Copies of this chain bind each other. A is one copy, B any other.
Amino acid sequence: MKVAIIYAHPEQRSLNGSLLKFMVERLERAGHAVQVSNLYAMNWKVALDTGDFPNRPPELQFDPMGESRQALQDGVQSPDIAAEQEKLLWADAVILQFPLWWFSMPAILKGWVERVYAYGFAYGRGEHSDRHWGDRYGQGLMAGKRAMLVVTAGGWATHYEPRGVNGPIEDLLFPIHHGILYYPGFQVLPPFVTYRIGRGQVDETKYSKIVEDLGKRIDDLWTTKPIPFRPQNAGDYEIPALTLRDELAPGEAGLAVHVNMADTSGG
């Protein structure tokens, strides 16, 4: 199988750097093909701006959505953007690896999403009618592919528990899992999160345990049950309001209602 790893840490001689190397070796030893986008090492251009569209008339009012659609259609996207889209189309599974900075992905990775996720590629696909509201949330160009986050956090695991002060980790990651990965069609696996990784806090014993656990997740990449997010266009939501139908998770609200706890199909 083919795996793309998008890696966003500024220092290769770090825990994240070691885990990246470990994953690549583990995957290649199992016969998989791997491509890594090492965003810092590539000096990835972060901000989505007019510089992404070299053919645009400079006096035109900048329309990120319309211009990204046009550039994709015309085949005149910035080469760094097109190359990343090719990796996503090539891959059977995509891993986003990053340190949790301020409870989200680092800016350099967010900028990768904003620039690579062009209109017509990751959004703005499919009809919008009273029966279907775009090919998204379970449908889209990434349908059939798997995605997983590999994340390190400085705080303690208890701080990210269901009643922990930072908020539950699954809720903090929801905008990424659901809004960035499930949106264009990925099946999203439960994340691999390592806590309390500050300097001096990861000794040899702890590191061995981390790679043992991560190794299992890598081995099980093709069999792990995805998070059973609810597809948007299959009947669970009113269209076009896109609110969950009253009879599903009745009386409940919040992020958790978008996970179908009754789904035991294996995704």
Chain B: CB-nearest residue to A52: B10
Q: Give min CB distance, A168 to chain B, whole Å.
A: 6
Q: How far is the CA of A159 from the CA of B128 in the complex (A)?
A: 14
Contact of A219 with B by CB under 8 A: no
Chain B: CB-nearest residue to A166: B179
Interface positions of A from 30 to 77, Cβ below 8 Å from B: 40, 44, 46-50, 61-66
Does A253 lie within 8 Å of B178, measured CB to CB?
no
Does A162 lie within 8 Å of B110, measured CB to CB?
no
Does B254 lie within 8 Å of A48, measured CB to CB?
no
Q: How far is the CA of A198 from the CA of B128 in the complex (A)?
A: 15
User: How many positions in chain A have a CB within 8 Å of any CB in the partner chain?
Assistant: 65
Contact of A243 with B by CB under 8 A: yes
Does A114 lie within 8 Å of B107, measured CB to CB?
yes
Does B113 lie within 8 Å of A102, measured CB to CB?
yes
Interface positions of A from 160 to 174, Cβ below 8 Å from B: 161-168, 171-172, 174
Contact of A10 among B62, B161, B164 (CB under 8 A): B62
Chain A to chain B: the 10 pairs with minimum beta-carbon distance, closest first:
A107-B111, A162-B253, A103-B179, A46-B46, A103-B175, A11-B62, A107-B110, A165-B242, A158-B241, A163-B244
Residues on A facing B (Cβ under 8 Å): 10-11, 13-14, 40, 44, 46-50, 61-66, 101-104, 106-108, 110-111, 113-114, 117, 137, 154, 156, 158-159, 161-168, 171-172, 174-175, 178-180, 198-199, 232, 237, 240-244, 252-258
